[in-house]
Amino acid sequence: MNAVPPVIFSGIQPTGRKHLGNYIGAIQQYVCGQDRGDPAIYCIVDLHATTVHYDPAELRDRVHDTTAILLAAGLDPERCVLFRQGDVAEHSELCWLLTSVTPLGALQRMHQFRDKSASQRELVSAGLLLYPVLQAADVLAYRAHEVPVGEDQREHLEIMRDIAERFNARFPLRRGTGEGRSGGDPGTGGDGLLVVPEHKIPTVGARVRDLQEPERKMSTTGGTEQGTVLLLDEPATIRRKFKRAVTDSDDPPVLRRGDDKPGVTNLIDILAVMRGATPAAIEQELASARGYGDLKVAVGEAVVAELAPLQERYRAIRADTQGLEDVLAAGADKARAIARVTLADVREAMGVGPPRSPGG
Ligand code: AQP
Supply the DSSP symbol for 203.
S
Instruction: Please state the pTM of the whole predicted model.
Output: 0.94
Q: What is the pLDDT of residues 289-331, one digit of tens each?
A: 888 999 999 999 999 999 999 999 999 999 999 999 999 999 9
Instruction: Give the separation between CA 317 and CA 320, rounded to whole angstroms.
Output: 6
Q: Whose CA is nearest to atom 7 of ligand 1?
A: 22
Query: Of the segments 76-90, 170-184, 284-298, which one has the largest average pLDDT value?
Result: 76-90
Tell me which of 152, 157, 204, 215 to substitute to probe ligand 1's pocket, judged by most ligand atoms within 8 Å of the beta carbon: 152
* pLDDT of amino acid 21: 97
Bridge partners of 291?
none
7 touches 39 (CB < 8 A): yes
Instruction: Give the separation between CA 67 and CA 47, rounded to whole angstroms.
Output: 15
Find the farthest-apart pair of alpha carbons in the chain and give their distance in angstroms, rounded: 76
Q: Which fold has domain 235-317?
A: Tyrosyl-Transfer RNA Synthetase (1.10.240)
How much distance in Å is there from the Cα of 22 to the middle of ligand 1? 5
Instruction: Give the separation between CA 138 and CA 85, rounded to whole angstroms.
Output: 8
Alpha-carbon dihedral of residues 317, 320, 326, 332, nearest 10 degrees? 50
Instruction: Give the separation between CA 10 and CA 25, rounded to whole angstroms.
Output: 12
C-beta atoms surrounding 57 within 10 Å: 7
Tell me which of 114, 217, 219 to substitute to probe ligand 1's pocket, judged by most ligand atoms within 8 Å of the beta carbon: 219
Ligand 1 pocket, residues with Cβ under 6 angstroms = 12-13, 19, 21-22, 24-26, 149-150, 152-153, 206-208, 217-222
The answer to whether the bond into 39 is cis (omega within 30° of 0) is yes
Tell me what the pLDDT averaged over the chain comes to.
93
163: helix, strand or coil: helix
Instruction: Give the separation between CA 65 and CA 1, rounded to whole angstroms.
Output: 42
Q: What is the pLDDT of residues 239-288, one digit of tens each?
A: 999 999 999 999 889 999 999 999 999 999 999 999 999 999 999 999 88
Ligand 1 atom with least separation from CA of 17:
25
The number of residues in the chain equals 360
Instruction: Give the separation between CA 213 and CA 226, rounded to whole angstroms.
Output: 10
Q: What is the pLDDT of residues 109-138, one digit of tens each?
A: 999 999 999 988 888 999 999 999 999 999
pLDDT over 80 at 165, yes or no: yes
Instruction: Give the separation between CA 37 and CA 57, rounded to whole angstroms.
Output: 35
319 vs 186, residue with greater confidence: 319
Instruction: Give the separation between CA 183 and CA 179, rounded to whole angstroms.
Output: 11
Instruction: Give the separation between CA 286 and CA 256, rounded to whole angstroms.
Output: 9
Instruction: Provide the residue ranges of all domains of the chain, joining segments of one domain with +.
Output: 8-206+320-350, 235-317
263 touches 246 (CB < 8 A): yes
Q: CATH top-level class for 8-206+320-350? A: alpha beta
Amino acid at 152: D
Bridge partners of 230?
19
